Chains A and B, each alone.
Chain A
């Protein structure tokens, strides 16, 4: 119904423009002989035709190309989230290899305290912190931020996300979400004439998939982890997990 209304509106605008032009035409075109009209029409056509090779010659390196396999990437993220929920944690190697998952940033901090607590200053609940204890005590905390596939329509904007700000101070790992980010994309659709003969429905259903952030933290052996109140968002995996379970 809405599109019909728009169509009628366009139609009316068209009528107004044409009638306006008609009334002006008699005044203007007396000066314009058919030769001039033909030349102008020819130039117009020529100008537009000339744009075709120009379009093909435009340097096209930095465009957003949608060649990735969206379905696979999204289903991977979903499986991953499901696994996290079921306490099935991937190793960082597996995570990094997963299609659709992208490493945002990585940091290495010197341990400055024998305890580590985490301050999650995020606006959404899409941050999952996984802490894994290293086999050695190298006094270093390695933090990597991963994002899962983020799509709007066919556009994968995962790589354009700003990573969270991560810093360590006095045994507290601060994890702050980046400032509010606005991403704008320009997409071309086929004209409706061509659309009719191409079996694709690209114009409808530009669904958005926001991904999840996974912060993988490797801590030195024997570092005490304090995750008060954030047990559901901070997971301890590997040996440490077992240790704690045993203690309970």
Chain B
């Protein structure tokens, strides 16, 4: 069963299309990473899913309902982002107990335990927290709410790396104990790929790919070596990335399946065959122009 179903969803701000004709579906109880660069439309997509925004065109269904201004949808969705606001008349510990009645699966022991573990003073108002502590606290809410759909928008911004690691561990542990659909947006894939099951890669409002992490790791392959030799193999094939790293030497990245049959031959031709990390792959896939930053320097 699909928890989220998007059909040709477009969302524009004036002339700018933040989300452009996006279609995808997310299955129940998956931990999906929404990956994209800054301004790729991640937050806009998440707000559309959380019902904060309406799509300009296309259909979004969350739990088979349109999420915008939908109470039932809201009761099943928790959207954790850095603009969450809580009244100053509540201390953090108050917030935990005041928010609890809204979420049927709320785990208050977990919430208090995490707050204690991350050693945030529970007697202060939310607005007084530092950026990192705020992110941590909001994430605690996200985990403890145990909503059927929990959305984290850049949850780790401001956290130090120890806290990040603990947060991901906590999230994963609770996810395994209490499976639910989680979407986690990040621009740092190497940090999250360890816990993700699926990855949805967004590039300028368009879906680049939507794959299980395991497949993504084998998705592409890199060839490095003499330019002419490489040209012979990749002729007519679609390249994800291409870089002339030295005169007459080329580095190309292409989908594994395109070169798989010839891989033996490639190796024999003296070319280096490199596996591509998901991080690099995502950078290549979302590069604004083929050739990367070097291209800029080459031109000038």
Q: Do chains A and B touch in the complex (CB under 8 A)?
A: yes
| Chain A contact residues, CB within 8 Å of chain B | 26, 29-30, 32-34, 37
**Chain B residue nearest in CB terms to A37:** B89
User: Is the CB–CB distance between A34 and B94 below 8 Å?
Assistant: yes
Inter-chain contacts of B94 with A (CB < 8 A): 33-34
Say whether chain A's binding surface is mostly helix, strand, loop, or mixed. helix
Tell me the complex Cα distance, A29–B127, Å: 12
- Could you list some 17 contacts between A and B, CB below 8 A? A26-B88, A29-B88, A29-B89, A30-B88, A30-B125, A30-B127, A30-B128, A32-B89, A33-B89, A33-B90, A33-B91, A33-B94, A34-B87, A34-B89, A34-B90, A34-B94, A37-B89
Inter-chain contacts of A29 with B (CB < 8 A): 88-89
Say whether chain B's binding surface is mostly helix, strand, loop, or mixed. mixed
Q: Identify which of residues 182-225 in chain B touch chain A, using a CB-to-CB cut-off of 8 Å.
A: none
Tell me the complex Cα distance, A33–B87, Å: 10
Inter-chain contacts of A37 with B (CB < 8 A): 89
Inter-chain contacts of A34 with B (CB < 8 A): 87, 89-90, 94
Q: Identify which of residues 87-136 in chain B touch chain A, using a CB-to-CB cut-off of 8 Å.
A: 87-91, 94, 125, 127-128
- Chain B 122-155 interface 0/1 with A at a Cβ cutoff of 8 Å (1 = within): 0001011000000000000000000000000000
**Other than the known A33-B89, A34-B94, A37-B89, what 4 A-B pairs have Cβ atoms closer than 8 Å?**
A26-B88, A29-B89, A30-B127, A30-B128
Cβ distance B162 to chain A, nearest Cβ, rounded Å: 29
**Chain A residue nearest in CB terms to B89:** A34
Q: Identify which of residues 73-90 in chain B touch chain A, using a CB-to-CB cut-off of 8 Å.
A: 87-90
Closest 9 CB pairs of A and B: A34-B89, A30-B88, A30-B125, A33-B89, A29-B88, A33-B91, A37-B89, A34-B90, A29-B89
Inter-chain contacts of B88 with A (CB < 8 A): 26, 29-30
Tell me the complex Cα distance, A34–B90, Å: 6
**Chain B residue nearest in CB terms to A32:** B89
Inter-chain contacts of B87 with A (CB < 8 A): 34
**Chain A residue nearest in CB terms to B87:** A34
Tell me the complex Cα distance, A33–B90, Å: 6
Inter-chain contacts of B90 with A (CB < 8 A): 33-34
Tell me the complex Cα distance, A32–B128, Å: 14
**Chain B residue nearest in CB terms to A34:** B89
Inter-chain contacts of B128 with A (CB < 8 A): 30
**Chain B residue nearest in CB terms to A26:** B88
Tell me the complex Cα distance, A29–B128, Å: 12
Cβ distance A24 to chain B, nearest Cβ, rounded Å: 13
Inter-chain contacts of A33 with B (CB < 8 A): 89-91, 94
Tell me the complex Cα distance, A133–B90, Å: 90
- Chain B 156-190 interface 0/1 with A at a Cβ cutoff of 8 Å (1 = within): 00000000000000000000000000000000000
Inter-chain contacts of A30 with B (CB < 8 A): 88, 125, 127-128
Tell me the complex Cα distance, A32–B94, Å: 13
Tell me the complex Cα distance, A29–B88, Å: 7
Inter-chain contacts of B125 with A (CB < 8 A): 30
Tell me the complex Cα distance, A26–B89, Å: 10
Cβ distance B76 to chain A, nearest Cβ, rounded Å: 28
Cβ distance B45 to chain A, nearest Cβ, rounded Å: 34
Tell me the complex Cα distance, A34–B93, Å: 13
Tell me the complex Cα distance, A7–B112, Å: 52
